[in-house]
Homo-oligomer: A and B are copies of this chain.
């Protein structure tokens, strides 16, 4: 054990294990998670060399092997609880993805959701036994967010009772679905349904794409891998071009809408049936943000405790880089963010389960709020985390660029969350739509409830941003509840400003749509402020349930840092709205420095509490024992370019070059 990191642990003011319980949701949960994780790292079948040492094809190969083993072992161990599967899977995957992802997360759930009973009886056993390996083919090369724009067609032919599927243009080629390129033999294809000369819009079809015995592509199917990406090397994101591909009528997924044998189209009862899945996945992504950020902070903070560099006082030994104020200012606000997002992730899970219950009881009233919340928080947390991972990486100096640090892998595997499951700007605008709608309801005198209820008050206050700058703010900057209030009022102000911008555009005789587009900057800003408020509020609420004094104290420091740092980073908003004064902004800057010093002795313990096993972290810089350099050297020597002392390029190019000069 590195002596620096040992000393750090001795200096902690709280019981790390108890904080881990809070993060896991109780000691039993921690225990069970560790049991499951131990199943993986004690299993020689999952021993592997760093994927960064392999070619793309080898990486895919290794990932398929691991996925196949995982399926067998989960069944062998009888692990079936989704949370437990998640823990097992996370350990197997490490910082990478897995090629069966969409089969499990999208294909099977879609079969459950969209098949009629007869279809379910046929397809589910095939999918569960991996005879059928499937993916979900929605996105096309030219079409993403806007589903109505998809071009793939499925035309019913009553003569043969078949659908004929086509990709009529290059831009209509299905593009990006995970597992489509090489792994899957079936795909759920979203296509525009044509029957008896009429288009009935998007529907889902089960399309066999590869022979179930030989795995060769079927006639009319052009399928393959979309090529190397920024990360996701383990996944064969694929393309699919359909050329007069015929499938039986029964392969249309008919739970809600149907085409009769004669071609008669039967409409679905409701058009909002996929709402739930999207909300669930987006809520999950909030938790993924917290986990990626926790990993990154663990690496950067442990390494900063081990790394010595330069000098603060001349003649003294080089200090740990964690002693530099600039390093603390880079990392501790991110550490506080990691805690904040962890609690927001827990909050989203709770709220999702609560509202799912309501929906099962036939009460859909909370769904719009949950939809708006999950969209906005997905965007807010992924954007923040995306930048934060890179700050962590760069805070490690040169070694952060080495794949041995794991930070490049964490970044490239995480960054797609900003785009998939709803592009972030689009998400922010969806949340804004809900906020503006709520604002207008309050304006009309309706009493709002739930998370937007603060917009009621805003109507009472009638905020005039231009006038309030001189108003005397009443905030107590050292009181977190008071800061929550300030964030709330900032959100209210910005929602109001966005709504007024739309109003002004309409008065300039713009159409509703153009007014919206011309206010989009303000709308995104309002959503961002709303989400920021929710995060600060959730963090504050969480503190109320923490009984342990030492833990309560350190978490309060983190929460205060999170809130204050957000104010200094957005001080213009708060000053403009007259919510804090100029002297208060200066006081907050001074307070932040004090908070950094307060957190310094607990920094390593606070990342230890995330309890991320070395095997899962897979980072030489972030090792629990702090023995960075020896292990970095060992890792480098295993790197494939060192397999031969002399690289073949010497004989091929360097020797001939000399003779020509």
Residues of A within 8 A of B (CB): 52-53, 55-57, 60-61, 64-65, 67-68, 71-72, 75, 128-131, 133, 139, 141-146, 149, 170-171, 173, 175-176, 181-183, 214-217, 224-232, 236, 239, 307-314, 318, 323-327, 329-330, 386-387, 390, 393-394, 397-398, 400-404, 407-408, 411-412, 415-416, 418-420, 423-426, 429, 465-466, 469-470, 511, 513-514, 517-522, 524, 568, 570-576, 581-583, 585-586, 589, 592-593, 629-630, 632-633, 635-642, 645-650, 652-654, 656-658, 660-661
Contact = CB atoms under 8 A, between A and B. Distances in A.
A230 B410 CA distance: 11
Contact of A633 (B173, B309, B638, B661): B173
B582 A639 contact: no
B133 A401 contact: no
Given A215-B654, A654-B130, A314 B513 contact: yes
A72 B659 CA distance: 11
B141 A633 contact: yes
A620 to B, nearest CB: 10
A642 to B, nearest CB: 4
A227 B403 contact: yes
A603 B2 CA distance: 55
A440 B288 CA distance: 49
A225 B309 contact: no
Instruction: Count this chain's copies in the assembly.
Output: 2
A150 to B, nearest CB: 11
A163 to B, nearest CB: 24
A interface, over-half SS: helix
Contacts of A131: 658
A402 to B, nearest CB: 6
A572 B568 contact: yes
A2 to B, nearest CB: 12
Contacts of A129: 658, 661
Nearest to A627: B170
Contacts of A639: 224-228
B403 A228 contact: yes
Contacts of A401: 229-232, 415-416, 419
Contact of A657 (B72, B513, B524): B72
A645 B181 CA distance: 9
A610 to B, nearest CB: 23
A578 to B, nearest CB: 8
B646 A215 contact: yes
A658 B185 CA distance: 13
A52 to B, nearest CB: 4
A59 B650 CA distance: 14
Nearest to A641: B225
Given A418-B394, A520-B325, A586-B466, A224 B637 contact: yes
A254 to B, nearest CB: 27
Q: 7 tightest CB-CB pairs across the interface, nearest first?
A: A571-B572, A227-B639, A230-B408, A225-B641, A146-B310, A64-B649, A572-B572
Given A216-B646, A326-B520, 15 more contacts: A71-B661, A182-B647, A182-B649, A226-B402, A227-B639, A232-B401, A324-B517, A325-B518, A325-B520, A329-B521, A390-B390, A394-B418, A465-B586, A466-B582, A521-B592
Contacts of A583: 466
A425 to B, nearest CB: 5
18 contacts: A61-B649, A65-B652, A71-B657, A71-B661, A130-B657, A146-B311, A149-B318, A170-B630, A182-B649, A230-B411, A236-B641, A239-B633, A330-B425, A390-B415, A398-B419, A408-B412, A466-B586, A575-B575
A12 to B, nearest CB: 23
Nearest to A629: B170
B420 A398 contact: yes
A124 to B, nearest CB: 13
A516 to B, nearest CB: 8
Given A65-B649, A593-B521, A513 B582 contact: no
A57 B647 contact: yes
